[in-house]
Amino acid sequence: MIKPPIAAPVGDKLAALRAQTHREIRALRDRITRLGPDEIQLILSGARSHYAWTDRPVTEEMLRAIYDIVKMGPTSMNSSPARFVFVRSDEGREKLKTALKPTNVPKVVTAPVTVIIAYDSEFWRELPYLFPHEDRRPHFDGKSEYSEETAFRNGTLQGAYFMIAARALGLDVGAMSGFSNEIVDRAFFAGTTLKSNFLCNLGYADETALFHKLPRFEFDDVCSFA
């Protein structure tokens, strides 16, 4: 269901909201200038993609807390095209198994939650609610290729936000692309405008399944100045 449009603030109300935003950002920067090395290790530099899981459950409260962080990440025109399906029932796992490469089946059936990170190819219909300043729907209406490109790019961004948010709250993640998008879309999104992007297993990992960390490029290998 499309959320009803909201009125964009104008005049003194807009000025007050902008001033409040400026104060909040300055206060945040005064309070926290940067993350420490331990926090950076937790969310990125020391984190790993996991393949095996303990039986410790992931609560709905935790999933909601993750999303409350994710939704604040920036997207083009605040378009927020990502959609998240939390597969945690036996029925849901059985449906998902039909789309997986055989080597990935154990990773999914043992994970407390597998998230289908998808996107809505007609996200732009929600712009009057998400971006009320002006009607941007004509930029996308009837332009399926541009809509798809925008949805995929920004939905992928939100998928990355999801992984970082989950790690920040103490969970482990294991993103996966070894599956058939076509089968997932048929099983979970038939008759809708949603399409799957990638999967992400979520839970508390059994770290004994890990391999050593693989090489990474150095700065001078892949970075340049212009």
| Mean pLDDT of the residues in the chain | 96
The percentage of residues in the chain with a pLDDT greater than 90, rounded to a whole number, is 99
CA distances 128 to 56, 139, 161, 165, Å, are: 41, 13, 24, 27
pLDDT value of residue 85: 98
pLDDT digits (tens, 9 = 90+) for 204-221: 999 999 989 999 999 999
Helical H runs in the chain? 11-31, 37-40, 60-70, 90-97, 105-109, 127-130, 144-168, 181-188, 219-222
Dist. CA 204–CA 128, nearest whole Å: 39
Is the pLDDT score of 1 beyond 90? no
pLDDT digits (tens, 9 = 90+) for 76-109: 999 999 999 999 999 999 999 999 999 999 999 9
What mean pLDDT do residues 13-37 have? Answer: 96
User: Helix, strand, or coil here: 200?
Assistant: strand
User: Helix, strand, or coil here: 50?
Assistant: coil
- Looking at residue 209, its amino acid is A
Contact 124, 140 (CB under 8 A): yes
pLDDT digits (tens, 9 = 90+) for 39-89: 999 999 999 999 999 999 999 999 999 999 999 999 999 999 999 999 999
pLDDT digits (tens, 9 = 90+) for 160-216: 999 999 999 999 999 999 999 999 999 999 999 999 999 999 999 999 999 899 999
* All domains of the chain in start order, with CATH: 51-202 (3.40.109.10)
